Structure 1
Amino acid sequence: MQGFLLTRHWRDSARGIQLELWFASLQGPLRVLIERQESVFFVSRAEAARLPEVLGTGAWRTAEVALSNYLGEPVLALYSRSHKRAQQWRERLAAQGIAVWEADIRPSERYLMERFITGGVTIEGQPQLLDGCPTLVDPVLRPQPHRPQLEVVSVDIETSMDARELYSIGVFGRRDRFVFMVGDRTAAAADGAEVQIQWCASAQDCLQQFFSWLAARDPDLLIGWNFIQFDLWVLEKLCRRYGMALALGRGGQACHWREERTRERRYVSIPGRVALDGIELLRAATYSFESFSLEAVARAVLGQGKLLTGKDRGRDITELFQRDKVSLAAYNLRDCELVWDVFEQTDLLAFALAKAQLTGLALDRVGGSVAAFEYAYLPRLHRAGFVAPNLGELQSDVVSPGGYVMESRPGLYDHVLVLDFKSLYPSIIRSFCIDPCAFWRAEIDRLSDADCVPGFNGARFAKQGALLPEIIRELWRAREQAKADGNSPLSQAIKIIMNSFYGVLGSPGCRFFDPRISSSITLRGHEIIQRSREWIEARDYQVIYGDTDSLFVWLEACQTDTEAQRIGSELERGLNRWWQASLKADFGVESTLEIEFETHYRKFFMPTVRGAEIGSKKRYAGVVSRAGQDEIVFKGLENVRTDWTPLARRFQLELYRRIFFNQPFATYIRTTVAEVLAGQRDEELVYRKRLRRKLDDYQKNVPPHVQAARQLRAATGARPKPGDWVSYVLTVNGPAPVQLQRRQGGPVLAYQQYIDRQLRPVADSILQVLGESFADIVDRQIRLL
């Protein structure tokens, strides 16, 4: 049988550690029980004689293994039939100064990663019915890529504004589209309403009917919007109040929660099922929206939105529950459908499956770059003869720098090319054999310089046996195949994983963090950008900016788009050939560096640092031609920053358009200022900023959005939390939340502040290169009045 891993759990039992793995298969859901497992970690072989005096006798055993630590010191494997007891021993040994390694790996992760099981498997064994579930006990599992057909249901709840009263639960899938509604059947429902409603006598009855339906329908995945942080957590709190269990798991098992109080986030584990949140998955897949509300995303992706919108939607929902439950059911079901359609349109499920298959992480695990790296690296490291170091064990005084950012030459240009190194850091890792194991091997085996590739800050890497370059090579091939097959979700998942490897190695939160290794990546990147610049400028072209993996080349003498395209292609071919020859001659390695002629800007603007004459970094704009249409692209400027008002963003777009295409702009500036002062642009004066901390954590310097959020809390009882967006305006009395300003007709907006803080800096950044200024243009109008 073939299956795809949905969830993994472990528990201590009298007979040893039991693993419970749930798979989706063509035969339906399968539970796999792996019995009598042991927890394992490693201790120095030199400390073997001390183990009995520290741990006593019995209940543990050791075994000789062909493994050593990063210093080359041999280790023993120490086994326990209880993971909880193994953690107690770990603490006891540490208290006696005895080092242990890999004691923090959960039994289920250890079992799966050592067998290279990520998502798909073949299962050899005969299922039996245990506790009403098809179950295989101690089958043979082998990794095998498998694309499952999963049963998915979109779920959404409606509640009172304080989320203490449940109104309804909507479900939407391929086979079921209806709403569990608290209340009695109404006349409107009997008159042939389009929405199917299951009426429930009470909130408890609503929950129970939902659980019963879930057990009968038995979906693999539950999807929703802000699903775990709101919907499921509200259901959990309601169940606790009613003395029930949130029995969403297969076999009626309850959910297990973990809370991260510092960030006010919660994580849920559902035996046999997976809960996926659309917001978290979109972010993991690198989608970007001005707002991740369901209304905003659905409008952007689908061109349609919710049935109820506006600032009083909470009150509208309560009013519908009291007076028109059929319309509330339609609203509830529409939200479920929107989530379903967003998942379909963006291929989110395919992305989640691809990411799980590649990394071995659980389907609902977003982020987790360090965990993904370790899942792939540890089993290969063991086969190379090493155990992993502990977090913080690799100490060094070296400071690893970030990516190289070149000083820019500010100005307004015609014909600028962007040459971009494709996946520069993964390419550096491959080309220069950069890898923790190769670093240790070079030192332990005292390899000659001929057998190593030099890094930086004293690092050297063995040319043979490097693990990370091979992992990246496999991913690279898989991505090329995914692109050839038109499998965009898989291609995107691979790109994200590959590009995360440097970040992992450069993070103190990774057990393999060593600044000598990470700096060998970044400093090699600095060298590559600088030497590429020298090569380009030796051919009489000017590099006006460079950023980590990109070079911006001004073609001063270029006259046409066709000529620019030709030069870009020539630079791409020539620079790639030069790097291949250089790496072969200098290091005796094959180059995997690949530079691409990525973009041709017909017009290009690089601003100065505000209030200074030096060029800015990571901020520019330009005109590109796509499908025969000119388009203005902004990077880092106000137009693409959500902490600037819509006024500033629209003003910048139109002003730059006029300047790039040589159209008059002075009248446009004056007209915009006049409209702001006349109160005609009030809807565009709203700031939006996210809370990064709890409201009461802001003490000394309280920014405007926090002041507005505190006013909202005082006036309405709302409790904005970290991660929430705050919308506010600037009034003559200071910042005020939009909700109160509009509802109460509050103080007059501070129009001059908007002109000075939003329009003036946007305009002056580009006007100064034309010998103009915002003040002069506006003042000329005033003098004419």
Structure 2
Amino acid sequence: MLRFAKPLNYVCVSPNSKQRASMRAPEQLPLIMEPESRFFADPVIVLDFQSLYPSIIIAYNYCFSTCLGRVKHFGQISPFEFGCTTLMVPPDTIAKLLMKQKKICLDNEENSRSMISFSPCGVAFVGRGVREGILPRMLSQILETRLMVKKALKENKGNRVVERVLNNRQLGLKLIANVTYGYTSANFSGRMPCIEVGDSVVSKGRETLERAIDLVHKKWGSQGVRVVYGDTDSLFVLAKGFSRPEAFKLGAEIADLVTENNPSPVKLKLEKIFQPCLLQTKKRYVGYAYESPDQEKPVFDAKGIETVRRDGCPAVAKVLEKALRLLFDTRDVSLVKLHVQRQLGKLLSGRLSLQELTFAREYRGAAGYRPGACVPALQLARRWVSNDRRAEPRSGERVPYVIISGPPGLPLFQLVRSPLELLMINKQDGPSGSSGPQPARVNAHYYVTKVLIPPLQRCFSLIGVDVESWYADMPRKFRFLIQPRGTGSMLDINLGKQVKGMDNCAGTSKKSTISAYFASSDCVACGAPLDPGNQAALCQLCQKNAHNTAFILASRCNSWERSAASLTKVYKENPLSDVLFLLNP
């Protein structure tokens, strides 16, 4: 910008922090519509304005050097507030511009902005008939250069080195053009903010999007076409009853009509078509995207949901994406239910890998948290620093952790462990009855109810499905823990070994489970009294006959399950009074 300003004898303002702080706060907001949160089987046309804010700056000549201030200040003889500084425009200058503009409008309506124009927020700018702004001139050359680079990129297809260099250059030019608006409205850390220019760009962008929505509704509203979502510079148009080729044709017509009704270089282009599509909330949607009528295989495109977010665990992204793909491909909710229940069952039975259950949250540094903050990344960092001062993660680094099981009532942040700590705990096998490490099992109930089900519920509730009921319908598998006589350790009869971190549950620990109070003095297989020195749950004979003992325990469990199934069947087939009679004859 300075290169363009110096030949024209302009000197850029350099406000200090006090001047920036005293500047008026931004008042305008971009248009972000509340979407119709539902599942769409019909094509949804996605149209996007090409570089909307840079195009508006060029089309309407918005710049620091062309701004005349707010209309309410017209007629003042004294200087008035303008960005971080002040501005004084003589009243006779405004009058001359308005008279010239009136004369031009009478001769030719197409040049209605050649002398002076007004933004929707009440700020005046001189037109190109007076002078061309620095920002429009700079952005025009940037966008023209980008088109030249993209043309060269097409000519050098096949040369990977040149392609990579040219692609990075055109991307850099695009980012420079897009952040120019931010340079005009960065009132906290910007070098030359001017809120009048920034608000004018935002308000004009909002007006452009609203005008495009009105055009769509006026011309195609009678055909069942309507805008279901709009976000800053994009439109989501539902083409109800249209086939995909017809939707592509309709999208091209909408893009051409909106482009014709806006000054150059403001241009609306057809980006893609979603079919099917799920609109969840603002900036959260997912669907199968088609970019051309000839495309046969769609692309799974998601924005804002857990499949593309980095603050969750990989298991959430995998389960949710697979469930959505099943819904889009088959439209069969029963297959989605079967998949979700199968994945929940794997998690509950401990068959998911530790990597899929690992969170990775950003660490903001010790000074980046308020006092007393209970953040998992901060808790792990404090624990590591207490052992080694050099082990603190760097600011911005992602810290991996998992949530483990613990005694009832324990706060969640105390159940945070790093994957390495969990592996080290599982590797250790302390002596029976000793005070062991903290629980080393992943908290499956937490992952199911707090991590997996909520994102599934947010998506599939849009089609009238209750994912929580799917989980409630699943059979429960419990780990039965018993306490052998004379010890304070818990024994998992399913695994036949001591459960780590459950030592002294009925003794010294204040928080324990009810199973800790059922100490057994008999063999769980044959029922024979155990020897005083025997710390196991089985007698010596049953321990020797392992196969026979396993058969006895399995048969007993089978008998219990048959009895439970029989009672359940009686309960379902008979009224409550009959059931009570059968249970208490």
TM-score between both structures, scaled by the size of structure 1: 0.48
- Deviation track 1:681-730 (CA, whole Å, cap 9, x = no partner) reads 13210000111232684423221222123223334551112111100001
Deviation of 1:382 (Å) = 6.5
714, 717, 731: which is aligned to 2:386?
A: 714
Q: Within 5 A, what are the aligned runs for 1:491-510?
A: 491-508=170-187, 509-510=189-190
Taking the aligned partners of 1:454 and 1:443, their CA distance within structure 2 comes to 18
517, 522, 529: which is aligned to 2:197?
A: 517
Residues 416, 601 of structure 1: 8 Å contact kept: yes
629, 644, 664: which is aligned to 2:297?
A: 629
The match for 2:485 is: none
Structure ranking higher on relative contact order (CA contacts 8 Å, 6+ apart): 2
The match for 2:79 is: none
Residues 728, 737 of structure 1: 8 Å contact kept: yes
Q: Does residue 1:682 correspond to 2:350, yes or no?
A: no
147, 153, 160: which is aligned to 1:480?
A: 147
Q: Secondary structure at the match of 2:67?
A: helix
- Deviation track 1:595-616 (CA, whole Å, cap 9, x = no partner) reads 0000101111012xxxxxxxx1
The match for 2:34 is: 407
The match for 1:652 is: 320
Q: Secondary structure at the match of 1:655?
A: helix
Could you say which structure has the larger radius of gyration?
A: 2
Taking the aligned partners of 2:190 and 2:274, their CA distance within structure 1 comes to 40
- Deviation track 1:460-489 (CA, whole Å, cap 9, x = no partner) reads 112123111000011111011111111322
Query: Which letter does structure 2 place at the counterpart of 1:674?
Result: G
Q: Within 5 A, what are the aligned runs for 1:291-690?
A: 376-377=1-2, 380=5, 383-392=8-17, 393=19, 396-413=23-40, 414-439=42-67, 444=89, 446-447=93-94, 448-449=97-98, 450=101, 451-463=115-127, 464-486=131-153, 487-508=166-187, 509-538=189-218, 539-540=220-221, 541-558=225-242, 560-580=243-263, 591-607=264-280, 616-625=281-290, 627-661=295-329, 662-663=331-332, 664-683=335-354, 684-690=356-362
Taking the aligned partners of 1:737 and 1:752, their CA distance within structure 2 comes to 19
Query: Which letter does structure 1 place at the counterpart of 2:8?
Result: R
Taking the aligned partners of 1:443 and 1:478, their CA distance within structure 2 comes to 36
Q: Aligned in 2, Cα 1:461/1:695: closer, same or farther, shift over 3 Å?
A: closer
The match for 1:737 is: 418
Query: Which letter does structure 2 place at the counterpart of 1:620?
Result: Y
Q: Secondary structure at the match of 2:396?
A: coil
Taking the aligned partners of 2:461 and 2:404, their CA distance within structure 1 comes to 30
Taking the aligned partners of 1:695 and 1:682, their CA distance within structure 2 comes to 34
Q: Secondary structure at the match of 2:392?
A: coil
Deviation of 1:735 (Å) = 1.1
Query: Which letter does structure 2 place at the counterpart of 1:602?
Result: Q
Query: Which letter does structure 1 place at the counterpart of 2:183?
Result: V
Residues 694, 721 of structure 1: 8 Å contact kept: no
Residues 400, 522 of structure 1: 8 Å contact kept: no
Q: Does residue 1:779 correspond to 2:463, yes or no?
A: no
> Greater shift after overlay, 738-747 or 417-426?
738-747
Q: Aligned in 2, Cα 1:715/1:654: closer, same or farther, shift over 3 Å?
A: farther
Decide which structure has greater strand share.
Answer: 1
The match for 2:76 is: none
> Greater shift after overlay, 435-444 or 566-575?
435-444
Residues 645, 687 of structure 1: 8 Å contact kept: yes
Q: Aligned in 2, Cα 1:672/1:601: closer, same or farther, shift over 3 Å?
A: same
% same residue: 21
Taking the aligned partners of 1:382 and 1:521, their CA distance within structure 2 comes to 26
The match for 1:180 is: none
Query: Which letter does structure 2 place at the counterpart of 1:765?
Result: R
The match for 2:556 is: none
Query: Which letter does structure 2 place at the counterpart of 1:502?
Result: Y
Deviation of 1:425 (Å) = 0.4
Q: Secondary structure at the match of 1:570?
A: helix
Query: Which letter does structure 1 place at the counterpart of 2:245?
Result: T
Residues 712, 737 of structure 1: 8 Å contact kept: no
Decide which structure has greater helix share.
Answer: 2
Query: Which letter does structure 2 place at the counterpart of 1:483?
Result: K
Deviation of 1:389 (Å) = 3.9
Please list every run of 5 or more consecutive structure 1 residues that lacks an aligned counterpart in the other structure.
1-375, 581-590, 608-615
Residues 385, 392 of structure 2: 8 Å contact kept: yes
Q: Secondary structure at the match of 1:749?
A: coil
Residues 575, 595 of structure 1: 8 Å contact kept: yes
Taking the aligned partners of 2:368 and 2:62, their CA distance within structure 1 comes to 45
Taking the aligned partners of 1:597 and 1:605, their CA distance within structure 2 comes to 19
- Deviation track 1:489-517 (CA, whole Å, cap 9, x = no partner) reads 22111101101101111102223212111
Taking the aligned partners of 2:120 and 2:202, their CA distance within structure 1 comes to 9
Q: Secondary structure at the match of 1:638?
A: coil
> Greater shift after overlay, 616-625 or 692-701?
692-701
Please list every run of 5 or more consecutive structure 2 residues that lacks an aligned counterpart in the other structure.
70-86, 102-114, 154-165, 407-414, 427-438, 477-564, 569-585
CA RMSD of aligned residues (A): 2.3
Q: Aligned in 2, Cα 1:388/1:758: closer, same or farther, shift over 3 Å?
A: same
Query: Which letter does structure 1 place at the counterpart of 2:442?
Result: L
Q: Within 5 A, what are the aligned runs for 1:152-191?
A: none
Taking the aligned partners of 1:415 and 1:568, their CA distance within structure 2 comes to 10
Deviation of 1:563 (Å) = 0.9
